[in-house]
């Protein structure tokens, strides 16, 4: 049953092979392969086959065949067939957004953008190109303009706005696709010999400006795309480990491991597109952290090629004490110390049971009190996410149009909640749950969770709502680009915070956004909402969504950045962290002096200088600048003079 539920969880994203999992699990036997100690507990899984329908968009989030579109009558649809919302009529979304933001959104008033036809000329380095041509085929590198552009940005609102309506400025001069670790090693050696900058590229999903090229870099910048190194090289079912190459994408990892009855359990919101190497490099966390752990809890070993050579170990133990461990420096390194080529990870059996659930609470405060007690009760569900009232309303606005009996059912449910139970629609909040594990364990979790919820006036809202809330994670990621063309800028940011500061932080950030929005005289009302996600004994992760209407606003993306900085300033003032799982990149590097002592900053700088003295990995992430006024507008992006299109891989 768990396999079928897993299929539903990730949607139709090339994961159909899971349907055969149970049959395969019963019949497969490990293939003997050499191991460092001569054992035979590892086997080589079937190679991953990437299907033709997995083309990703070049200028928006996600798959090329999937996007939200508004019809002339105001109904909204999600194109494609991949998600539960796909091809469903969403009549409430635009009216609800207009009501919340106090603006008119005309479905016919669309801001379009032409595909670029000119790109900055590449900074050429003939000697480097000659060197890599000895070990890379012509299909493994390109100076093609669109390819270079896509490898020069992640998914921040500023970057996505720039590639649609402005210019990114400096972009990589060359894109390469290594196919094995030896080629990565040769790339680094060639870069050292010929003065070239290497920037690792995984799924391109980061939201910290980590892929943006330094404007003042005069050397040739090479984007090292790891996605041809995308296989699970071995699985060890006896010791419950696997070695996964850095370019393997989350949705493919899930598929391949599930064939043999295993899972990593790591599911960040970006799991469909982010990669194994990217998870390590950004110090990532997933939606099921409560059961499986954060990425540092799952990864046992990391392989990386640095300016000093390759870092690897002779064996992987469950734990060891061997002095200073260079592997630990790679978590959160964001491409500054080397190129991650693979990782050995823990494996968990596919859960016997996977159940969804949901709970309604009268207020956000009661929901937080429930999560606090749950955090100290132990044996947590795999995922617990508490949405504030505005985010709960947002989920309701995304419900497809009801027909027949479902119309009456919806009315009866609403009547029961608001009239009989007395929940105020403007105050009530929702919590979605995912339970995974052995049947008895899940039953115990459910009993505990719902008993604690009842103590805080929580009301069970059913498995269907829990499942739907979890699935929405994947489809709502497409909304940011949809609203951008309808004159709304939106983005997310996150933090972790001790329990005592959860309510003050959430209230303080919302008030700060409202005040900053009003101070600038921006149109309408800001959209600011939050959810409480991963729980710890000591605190939680809080995830914010912020949007404003930008029609008529001069330089709106810089204004957005100002407001986001103000929100982050408030987060730090309220005791929150700089980031929980997004990382630092260039977006947050100016804040490092605010959270770290001079000695701490010096350690980072000196380590970088010692390990990469010629700055081969010169992406310039985490380069802490002197403390700045964070509510000031960012420096404008310099515009590169465009040249005629440079095309062709040969």
Just list the catalytic residues. Answer: 543
Calpha distance 411→413 (Å, rounded): 5
Tokens in use for 192? 């050292």
Q: Find the helix packing angle between 556-573 and 157-165, rounded to 10°.
A: 180
Backbone angle region of 379, left / alpha / beta, with phi > 0 → left and psi within -120 to 50 → alpha: left
DSSP letter, residue 153? -
Which 8-state DSSP code applies to residue 420?
I
Dihedral, CA atoms, 556, 561, 563, 565, nearest 10 degrees?
Answer: -170
Joined together, the tokens standing for residue 188 give: 């680094």
Answer whether 542's CB lies under 8 Å from 505's CB: yes
CB contact at 8 A, 276 and 253: yes
611, two tokens = 């390990």
Backbone angles phi, psi at 389, to 5 degrees: -65, -40
∠ CA 431-271-386, nearest 5°, is: 10
CA distance 618 to 337: 9
Q: What is the pairing mode between strands 221-225 and 174-176? A: parallel
Look at strands 221-225 and 197-201 and give their pairing.
Answer: parallel
Return the structure tokens found at 424. 């105020």
Three-class HEC string of 335-368: CCCCEEEEEEEECEECCCEEEEEEEEECCHHHHH
Nearest of 378, 386, 336 to residue 358 by alpha carbon: 386
Tokens, residue 471: 């699935």
């Amino acid at each position: 049953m768990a396999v079928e539920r897993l299929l539903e969880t990730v949607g139709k994203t090339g994961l159909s092979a899971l349907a055969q999992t149970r049959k395969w699990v019963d019949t497969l036997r490990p293939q003997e392969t050499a191991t460092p100690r001569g054992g035979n507990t590892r086997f080589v899984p079937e190679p991953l086959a990437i299907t033709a329908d997995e083309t990703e968009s070049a200028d928006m989030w996600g798959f090329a065949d999937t996007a939200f579109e508004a019809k002339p009558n105001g109904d909204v649809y999600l194109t494609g067939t991949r998600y539960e919302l796909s091809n469903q009529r969403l009549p409430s979304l635009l009216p609800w957004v207009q009501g919340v933001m106090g603006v008119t959104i005309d479905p016919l008033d669309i801001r379009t953008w032409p595909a670029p036809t000119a790109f900055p000329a590449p900074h050429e380095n003939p000697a480097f190109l000659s060197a890599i041509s000895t070990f890379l085929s012509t299909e493994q590198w390109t100076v093609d303009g669109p390819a270079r552009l896509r490898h020069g940005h992640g998914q921040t609102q500023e970057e996505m706005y720039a590639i649609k309506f402005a210019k990114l400025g400096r972009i990589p001069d060359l894109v390469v696709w290594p196919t094995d670790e030896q080629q990565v090693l040769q790339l680094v050696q060639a870069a050292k010999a010929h003065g070239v900058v290497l920037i690792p590229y995984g799924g391109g999903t980061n939201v910290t400006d980590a892929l943006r090229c330094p404007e003042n870099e005069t050397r040739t910048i090479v984007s090292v795309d790891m996605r041809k190194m995308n296989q699970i090289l071995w699985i060890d079912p006896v010791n419950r480990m696997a070695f996964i190459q850095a370019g393997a994408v989350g949705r493919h990892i899930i598929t391949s491991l599930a064939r043999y009855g295993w899972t990593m359990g790591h599911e960040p919101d970006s799991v469909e597109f982010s990669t194994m190497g990217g998870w390590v490099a950004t110090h990532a966390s997933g939606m099921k952290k409560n059961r499986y752990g954060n990425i540092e809890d799952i990864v046992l070993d990391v392989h990386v090629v640095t300016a000093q050579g390759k870092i690897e170990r002779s064996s992987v133990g469950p734990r060891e004490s061997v002095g200073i461990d260079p592997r630990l420096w790679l978590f959160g390194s964001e491409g500054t110390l080397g190129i991650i080529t693979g990782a050995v990870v823990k494996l968990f059996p596919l859960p016997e049971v996977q159940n969804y659930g949901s709970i309604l609470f009268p207020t956000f405060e009661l929901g937080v009190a429930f999560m606090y007690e749950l955090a100290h009760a132990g044996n947590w569900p795999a995922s617990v996410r508490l949405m504030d009232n505005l985010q709960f309303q947002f989920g309701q606005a995304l419900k497809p149009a009801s027909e027949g009996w479902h119309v009456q059912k919806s009315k009866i449910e609403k009547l029961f909640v608001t009239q009989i139970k007395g929940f105020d629609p403007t105050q009530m909040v929702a919590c979605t749950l995912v339970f995974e594990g052995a049947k008895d364990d899940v039953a115990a979790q459910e009993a505990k969770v719902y008993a604690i919820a009842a103590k805080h006036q929580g009301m069970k809202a059913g498995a269907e709502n829990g499942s739907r809330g979890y699935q929405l994670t994947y489809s709502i990621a497409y909304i940011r680009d949809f609203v951008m063309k309808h004159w709304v800028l939106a983005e997310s940011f996150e933090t972790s915070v001790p329990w005592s500061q959860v309510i003050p932080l959430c209230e303080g950030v919302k008030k700060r956004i409202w005040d900053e929005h009003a101070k600038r005289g921006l149109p309408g009302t800001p959209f600011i909402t939050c959810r409480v996600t991963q729980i710890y004994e000591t605190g939680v992760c809080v995830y914010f969504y912020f949007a404003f209407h930008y029609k008529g606003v001069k330089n709106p993306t810089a204004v957005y950045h100002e407001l986001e900085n103000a929100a982050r300033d408030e987060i730090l003032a309220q005791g929150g962290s700089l980031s929980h799982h997004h990382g630092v990149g260039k977006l947050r590097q100016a804040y490092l002096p605010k959270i770290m002592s001079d000695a701490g900053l010096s350690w980072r700088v000196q380590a970088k200088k010692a390990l990469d003295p010629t700055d081969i990995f010169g992406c310039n992430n985490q380069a802490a600048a002197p403390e700045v006024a964070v509510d000031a507008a960012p420096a404008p992006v310099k515009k590169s003079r465009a040249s005629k299109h440079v095309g062709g891989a040969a």
